[in-house]
Structure 1
Amino acid sequence: MSGEVPEGWTIGPMVQFFELQRGHDLPAQSREAGGVPVIASNGIVGWHNQSPLSGPGVVTGRSGTIGKVNYIKERYWPLNTTLYVRDFKGSEPEFVYRFLEHFPLTEFQSGTGVPTLNRNDIHPIDVVFPPLDEQRRIAEVLRSVDNAIAAAQQVAEHSRALQSLLTTVQCFGHGYEMINLGDILADIRYGTSVKCDANEADGYPVLRIPNVVNGRVELDDLKYAAVSDADLRRFGLEAGDIVVVRTNGNRAYIGRSALVADGAATCLFASYLIRMRFDTRRAWSPYVYAILNSQPVREKLLKAATTSAGNYNINTTSLKGIAVPLPNLETQHQIGEVIQLATEAANACEDDVKHQQRVKANIMSDLLSGRVRVPA
């Protein structure tokens, strides 16, 4: 590593401050209810009661999900897809957790298929550690930051739940006529499968599954593709379109949708998404979008999903067959505007969580580098 070592801190190989060990096999049938958590590379995957390790423990992904770090205060069992801290060597366990949470573990993964993290690749890396008392103070500050973020997340979850309840009551509580989505569509199609290997100057931005987040189109981390004028017309988005996630390994993501606003109207959409464009004489897309995210319709979408090769899928035929309540256009606008206010409030709460997470990242960078010191 480079840079000046803060006064009182120690520089040395990572293994000088703590040692990682590969996790252990545990047959799926041994994961009994109750007992201690079984930790995989992506978090808790079950429970069991046999010969657990004593906490506190720090566990990170060894294969599969790299970069996620778990802190376990009580007893636990780390699976063989993880690396866990076998010996803290006098370091504060919670500080080690914070250190690994901030450390760029994904930069050291290898493998052409399933990414893998080898402890021997990171043990020799030089790092700087503060003295034990400062480790504890830093951990305490970051714990307080996490508590604030958790409180903001709870507010956001309650706000989103209120929006969902309002949608259900407003749309399904008045006996409106049920109409299949296919009867009010002007167009529905899968996205482009063209390779996204162009740059911003030579191609058009392409929305992918990661860009459909919390009911919104996020224009971060866009990929670009060079397409013909014909494909631009076929796969271009317009304000008021709705894009739907059609395939994913996580069942909860199936049917997740977003309403396209003006800012995304210059984008294309990828093949894992479906675009719906509605007959404006019969349907107002913000109202339909609200319906698609209501609990009754989400349940229908998940029921219609099929499985193949470990993925869940929904197709255009299933979407067209989903029945939704459809009042007249004036009522759609009235309901949609009320729901939009609730949606904006929920979005604001979620944006606050994201802001606090960015602030946390900056605080971690300052504290774990010693640029900012926590006084005794």
Structure 2
Amino acid sequence: MSEWKGYKLGEVIDIFGGGTPKTSVFEYWDGSIPWLSVADFNSGKKFVFSTEKCISELGLNNSSTKLLNKNDIIISARGTVGAIAMLGKQMAFNQSCYGIRAKREFATNDYIYYLLKDTVDRFLQISHGGVFDTITRDTFQEIDILLPPLPEQKEIASVLSSLDDKIDLLHRQNETLEAMAGTRFRKWFVEEVGDDWEEKVITDLFEIRDGTHDSPKQKDAGKPLLTSKHILNNRLDIENAYLISNEDFENVNRRSKVETNDILFSMIGTIGLVYLEQSTEINYCIKNIGLFKTSQNPKWSYYTYLWLKSSVGQEFIHKNRSGSTQEYISLGSLRSIVFSVPHIEVIEEFNVTVKPLFDRLKNNSDQIRTLEKLRDSLLPKLMSDDGEVRVEYDKQRGSK
């Protein structure tokens, strides 16, 4: 007989709402308390350690935001519903999220984190759509769950955490590799600009296009259609893109096919996220994404990628962004980019120095995807009481 017990999700967790201090009061925003928005943790990583903005104690005390503890859980509740992370340290958060903390008599935070990831589809089904999809406190009461005994919860979370720890290590290695490549770019092409360097209009080197403007119908099977929100740090969120028919896939690719050594650029929403496609097997297409066709002139792939991520590129992006409700950067603006560069021989020499870094980045990213697929395949099996995959634990001591 199964020892797993049934509950409503809302019964076994405490739920905290967020808030935003008044942006017009400078003193609310000159502190050191990290303040989360969805953009800070919508990366697929288990832990979030840093935020774009910080608030003061005064801002905390004069708004509805709450302070979550290290290892508490954050979930996005509006717009991009169902992004989930655990906190690497104390943080406050905005009103588009909920803070979650397991009730100790029922569950652990680690287990609830994985349980929430396993129930994201149900959040999406239940979310109440208007202009934006939204989950409310009542949504948590609509979701039925089964909980194993606490010792079994700890072992299940331990198995999944061991995979996430390896994934996190590879992500941190990639961040270091990116920083090393960025440092070399800055020294070669920003700090030591020569008087004899040429100005090159980017479209004289290769084309810049964008993805389809059409809206192909979603299918149960087919090819992934990526939008700007699927460009993450050093990777693409292909698994959460919706699928389109093979016929629509071919139609999109007539205009904006992604090839090896091309660069993807987020043009809408969170502007300026960049991804260099190093794979030789590309089975997705794009919508409303900037496409730098550096495959037409591969000598410029590393330079262009690092320029877009550099202080020079970020300043260009900031100056050329438009929109109020939703920010964007136009294709015309991207086509107006001008590089100040030395002779091509210097570019080729630079490529030799950074290629090993990008090779390691790709290898790590491939490993991350493999580990994520393993974790995601294990997740629903471990979260089920049907016995397909079970962990061993000592019922008396709560350990293996």
TM range (shorter): 0.7 to 0.9
Structure 2 CA distance for aligned equivalents of residues 9 and 65 of structure 1: 31
Q: Give CA deviations for 1:134-181 in whole Å, capped at 9, x if unaligned.
A: 333434444444333322221121122223334445566684732322
Query: The residue matched to 1:134 in structure 2 has which SS?
Result: helix
Select 1:341's aligned residue among 332, 350, 356. Answer: 356
Contact (CA 8 Å) 2:256, 2:286: kept in 1 or not?
yes
Letter of the 1:193 partner, please give it.
H
Q: How much does 1:71 deviate?
A: 3.5
Q: Distance in 2 between matches of 1:138 and 1:79?
A: 31
Matched residue type, 2:339? A
Contact 2:276–2:305 (CA<8 Å) still a contact in 1?
A: no
Query: Cα distance, 1:347 vs. partner?
Result: 1.4
Name the residue aligned to 1:9.
Answer: 4
Give the secondary structure class of the aligned counterpart of 2:182: helix
User: 8 Å contact 2:15–2:100 — kept in the other structure?
Assistant: yes
5+ unaligned residues in a row in structure 1: which ranges?
1-5, 279-283
Deviation string, structure 1 residues 203-254 (Cα, Å, up to 9, x no partner): 9986643576667889774646968x99976x2548578455362222342x
1:293 alignment counterpart: 305
Moved more, 178-187 or 95-104: 178-187
* Deviation for aligned residue 1:111: 0.5
- Match for residue 340 of structure 2 among 324, 334, 347: 324
Q: Match of 1:27, as an amino acid?
A: P
Distance in 1 separating the partners of 2:142 and 2:150 = 21
The match for 1:281 is none
Q: 2:271 aligns with which of 246, 251, 263?
A: 251
Q: How far apart, CA to CA, are the structure 1 residues paired with 2:99 and 2:284?
A: 43
Structure 2 unaligned residues grouped into runs of 5+: 42-50, 394-398
Distance (Å, rounded) in 1 between the aligned partners of 2:218 and 2:117: 33
Determine the C-alpha separation between the residues in 1 that align with 2:284 and 2:86.
Answer: 40
Change (3 A) 1:114 1:293: same
Contact between 2:16 and 2:98, CA under 8 Å: does it hold in 1?
A: yes
Q: 1:196 aligns with which of 211, 216, 224?
A: 216
Q: Is the 8 A contact 2:269 2:328 kept in 1?
A: yes
Q: Which residue in the other structure is 2:382 paired with?
A: 367
Question: How many positions carry a matched residue from both structures?
Answer: 358
Q: CA deviation at 1:348?
A: 1.0
Deviations 1:280-310 (A, max 9, x none): xxxx722212111222653453254222223
Structure-1 separation of matches of 2:236 and 2:147: 41
CA distance in 1, matches of 2:124, 2:186: 42
Distance change (3 Å), C-alpha of 1:187 and 1:99: closer
TM-score (norm 2): 0.69
Counterparts in 2 of 1:118 and 1:187: CA distance versus 1, 3 Å: closer
User: Is 1:110 aligned with 2:105?
Assistant: no
Deviates more, 1:98-107 or 1:185-194: 185-194
Letter in 1 for 2:200: N
Q: Which moved more, 1:292-301 or 1:183-192?
A: 183-192
**Which residue is 2:17 aligned to?**
23
- Contact map agreement 1:180 1:324 (CA 8 A) in 2: yes
- Residue 99 of structure 1 and its aligned partner are, at CA, apart by 1.9
Task: Specify the SS of the correspondent of 1:340.
Answer: helix
Change in CA separation of 1:332 and 1:109 when aligned onto 2, cut-off 3 Å? same
SS of corresponding position for 1:110: coil
Q: 2:316, 2:107 → 1: CA distance? A: 47
8 Å contact kept, 1:248–1:313? yes
Could you say what the CA RMSD is over the residues aligned between the two structures, in angstroms?
A: 4.3
2:80 match: secondary structure: coil
Q: Check if 1:178 corresponds to 2:198.
A: yes
| Letter of the 1:152 counterpart | L
The alpha-carbon deviation at position 129 of structure 1 amounts to 0.6
Could you tell me how far apart the structure 1 residues matched to 2:4 and 2:161 are? 21
Query: Structure 1 285/8 Cα, relative in aligned 2: closer, same or farther at 3 Å?
Result: same
CA contact (8 A) 1:58 1:93 kept: no
Flag the structure with larger Rg: 1
SS of the residue 1:311 aligns to: coil
When residues 136 and 292 of structure 1 are mapped into structure 2, their CA distance, relative to the original with a 3 A threshold, is same
Partner of 1:112, secondary structure, is: coil
The 1-side partners of 2:350 and 2:140 are apart by: 55
Contact kept, 8 Å, 2:211 with 2:289, in 1: the verdict is yes
Q: 1:81 and 2:75 equivalent? A: no
